[in-house]
Structure 1
Amino acid sequence: MNDIITILALFVRTSGRRLLLGAFLAALVVLAGMALLGTSGWFITATALAGLAGAATVFNVFLPSAAIRLLALGRTFGRYAERVVTHDATLAVLAALRERLFRGWAAPLAARALIKRPSRLLFRLTNDIDALESVYLRLLVPAVAACGAALLAAAVLGGIDWRLGTAVFFWLVLAGWGTAAIVTRRARPLALRRARALERLRAGAIDLVAGQTDLAMAGRLSAHCALLERHDAKLASADDALHRLDTRAGWAYAVAGHATVAGMLLAVGSLAQQNRVEVPAAALALLIALAALEPFAALRRGAIEAGRSWLAARRVAPRLREPAAVPDILRATVDALHLEGVTVQHDGRAAAALHGVSLRIAAGEKVAVVGHSGAGKSTLLALAAGELRQGAGFVQARPCTWLTQRTELFQDSLRDNLRLADPHADDEQLWNALHAAGLDGDVRGFAQGLDTPLGEGGLGLSGGQSRRLALARLLLRRTDFWLLDEPTEALDGATAADVMARLARHAGPRTVLLATHLRREAAMADRLLVLHAGRIVADVRRGSPEFATALQALRHD
Structure 2
Amino acid sequence: MREGLDRHPRSGKGAWTLLRALDAMAGRRLWLGGALLAALTVLMGMALLGLSGWFITATALAGLVPATALVFDVFMPSAGIRLLAVGRTGARYAERLVTHDATLAVLAALREKLFRHWSRPQAARLLMLRPARLLQRLTSDVDALDSLYLRLLVPGMAALGAALLAGLSFGLMRWWLGLLALAWLLLAGWGIALWHGLRTRQAAVRRAMALEALRLQSVDLAAGQAELLMAGQLPAQVAAVLACDARAAAADDRLYRAEARAAQAYGVAGALTLSAALLAMGSLVERGQIGVAVAALGILLALSAMEPFAALRRGAAEAGRTWLAVRRIGKAAVEEGPPQAGRQPTPGAGLAVQLDSASAAHPGQMAALGPLDLHIREGERVALIGRSGAGKSSLLSLIAGELPLVSGRAAAGFCCWMTQRTELFQDSLRGNLRLAAPEAGDDVLWQALEAAGLAQDVRAMPHELDTVLGEGGLGLSGGQARRLALARLLLHPARCWLLDEPTEGLDAATAGDVLQRLAVAARGRTLVLASHWQREARLADRLLWLENGRICGQALRGTPQFDEAIGRLRPDAGN
Same fold (TM over 0.5): yes
Change in 2 beyond 3 A, CA 1:318/1:538: farther
SS in 2 for 1:513: strand
Shift of 1:343: 3.1
Match of 2:454 in 1: 439
Shift of 1:462: 1.9
- Please say if 1:171 is aligned against 2:176: no
Distance in 2 of aligned mates of 1:411 and 1:141: 39
SS in 2 for 1:261: helix
Match of 1:203 in 2: 216
SS in 2 for 1:367: strand
What are the Cα deviations for residues 108-161 of structure 1, in whole angstroms up to 9, with x where unaligned? Answer: 222221122323432443222222222221111111111211222222222222
Shift of 1:307: 1.2
After superposition, residues 21-40 of structure 1 pair within 5 angstroms as 21-40=33-52
Shift of 1:305: 0.8
After superposition, residues 335-414 of structure 1 pair within 5 angstroms as 335-347=351-363, 349=365, 351-414=366-429
1:353/1:375 contact within 8 Å kept:
no
Shift of 1:51: 2.4
SS in 2 for 1:524: coil
Match of 1:97 in 2: 110
What are the Cα deviations for residues 50-86 of structure 1, in whole angstroms up to 9, with x where unaligned? Answer: 2234411222111111101100111112112221222
After superposition, residues 201-240 of structure 1 pair within 5 angstroms as 201-240=214-253
SS in 1 for 2:471: coil
Residue number among 553, 559, 567 corresponding to 1:552 in the alignment: 567
Letter in 2 for 1:8: L
Shift of 1:105: 2.6
Change in 2 beyond 3 A, CA 1:318/1:531: farther
Match of 2:335 in 1: 322
Shift of 1:540: 4.0
SS in 2 for 1:277: coil
1:192/1:308 contact within 8 Å kept:
yes
Match of 2:546 in 1: 531
Distance in 2 of aligned mates of 1:175 and 1:488: 70
After superposition, residues 178-189 of structure 1 pair within 5 angstroms as 178-189=191-202
Shift of 1:190: 0.6
SS in 1 for 2:387: coil
With normalisation by structure 2, the TM-score equals 0.90
Shift of 1:361: 2.6
Letter in 2 for 1:376: G
Shift of 1:215: 4.2
Shift of 1:388: 2.7
After superposition, residues 400-549 of structure 1 pair within 5 angstroms as 400-549=415-564
1:105/1:114 contact within 8 Å kept:
no
Distance in 1 of aligned mates of 2:521 and 2:357: 33
Residue number among 73, 82, 94 corresponding to 1:60 in the alignment: 73
SS in 2 for 1:336: strand
Distance in 2 of aligned mates of 1:465 and 1:228: 36
1:6/1:320 contact within 8 Å kept:
no
Change in 2 beyond 3 A, CA 1:455/1:230: closer
Residue number among 15, 23, 29 corresponding to 1:4 in the alignment: 15
Match of 2:25 in 1: 14
SS in 1 for 2:473: coil
Match of 2:315 in 1: 302
With normalisation by structure 1, the TM-score equals 0.93
Match of 1:51 in 2: 63
What are the Cα deviations for residues 179-230 of structure 1, in whole angstroms up to 9, with x where unaligned? Answer: 1112112222111111222223333333334444554555444444444333
Match of 2:207 in 1: 194
Match of 1:116 in 2: 129
Change in 2 beyond 3 A, CA 1:300/1:391: farther
What are the Cα deviations for residues 469-523 of structure 1, in whole angstroms up to 9, with x where unaligned? Answer: 1111001111111111111111122222222222222212222221112222122
Letter in 1 for 2:401: G
Q: C-alpha root-mean-square deviation of aligned residues, in Å?
A: 2.4
1:333/1:396 contact within 8 Å kept:
yes
After superposition, residues 138-149 of structure 1 pair within 5 angstroms as 138-149=151-162
Change in 2 beyond 3 A, CA 1:221/1:332: closer
Match of 2:296 in 1: 283
Change in 2 beyond 3 A, CA 1:229/1:415: closer
Gaps of at least 5 residues in structure 1 are none
Letter in 1 for 2:384: V
Letter in 1 for 2:448: A
Letter in 2 for 1:28: L
What are the Cα deviations for residues 328-354 of structure 1, in whole angstroms up to 9, with x where unaligned? Answer: x964433433333433333565x4321
Letter in 1 for 2:112: E
Identity within the alignment, % = 58
Distance in 1 of aligned mates of 2:555 and 2:334: 43
2:345/2:411 contact within 8 Å kept:
yes
Match of 2:85 in 1: 72
Distance in 1 of aligned mates of 2:458 and 2:284: 89
